[in-house]
Amino acid sequence: MNLLSIAGFTNLGYLLHSRDHEPVRTDMTGKTVVITGGTGGLGRACAEALAALGARTVVVGRDRQKLNVAAKEIEGEVATHEADLSLMADIRDLAERLGDEDRIDAIVNNVGVLLPERMETAEGLETTFATNLAGHFLLTNLLIPRLVESGSSRIVNVTSGGMYSERIKPGDLQFQRREYSGTAAYAHAKRGQVILTELWARRLEGSRVSVHAMHPGWANTPGVARSLPLFDKVMRPFLRTAQQGADTMVWLTAAPEPGARSGELWFDREVVPKHLLDRTRESESDRQELWDRLVTVTGSDLATLPAEER
């Protein structure tokens, strides 16, 4: 079975690919991990697994009731923070609150939305772009100094196989010049995430912070059921559990092996190509324009780290 075949994305693919996987047993005691969108689905499964390894797990979500449930039900040391991660002001406030943590050893950028119609946030940004790309960019840049201080840290970006269909269009990140499609906007933002993974890895080279992107396969989560109801109905028998989808998230965050690499895209603990089609390949100028436009939107940049911080 081809790793990136349609069958490979299913629960059958996971069972085949994971035959030789060892359970993650890393002792995470004393480590702190921030997980966005951690109240349900993949994020909740990831939070549960990392808390079971002993990590202080910081769950971020926008629904206080769901955060309270997560804090009560997840066994281990759990903290929660309420924030709407489509709003840059909320993200800046969240980063300030996270400054009270003694250390931050990893951030899992898991939160995401797929909307059927184009919507804008209260700050005037297209919502899918704001949540899935600009928000990740801002929060990660704001937390990178803490990650560098903590040493041997990880950034894990949760992407989607849909990104294989899209080439980044840095001049139209918010679908203002073309017809809006919810799946295209989602995939486009996820393509941007993969590019940022490489750009962060380049800027953080030598800092002991490794950056990874991962594709969870097709998982049975509330987000899929809500955003893609027909797909969910047809494919339900073949969808992965949230725990199966989150396996590589947990492995990239906690296992020692991924710390030796950076800037890669992973699927079922294997490095996979970032492009399957030539038409989706971006130029170096596209990459630089993406970064520059995100800096303009978020007001946050990350220069190459000086030698003394590496």
Q: Which residues are catalytic?
A: 186
Q: Spell out the long-range contacts of 39-42 with Cβ–Cβ below 8 A and sequence spacing 24 or more.
A: 39/63, 39/66, 39/67, 39/69, 39/70, 40/66, 40/221, 40/222, 40/223, 41/219, 41/221, 41/222, 41/223, 41/224, 41/242, 42/110, 42/158, 42/216, 42/219, 42/221, 42/242, 42/245, 42/246, 42/249
CA separation for the pair 152, 252 (Å, rounded) = 12
Q: At residue 286, what are phi and psi to the nearest 5 degrees?
A: -60, -45
265, β-bridge pairs: 213
Residue with tokens 């009270």, as numbered in its chain: 100
Q: Are 241 and 220 in contact (CB under 8 A)?
A: yes
Concatenate the DSSP letters of all residues of 273-305 into one string. Answer: -S-SSGGGPPPHHHHHHHHHHHHHHHS---PPP
For the record, the structure tokens of 236 come out as 């339900």
Cα 5 to Cα 2, 271, 276, 299, distances in angstroms: 5, 15, 11, 39
What number of other Cβ atoms are within 10 A of residue 243's Cβ? 16
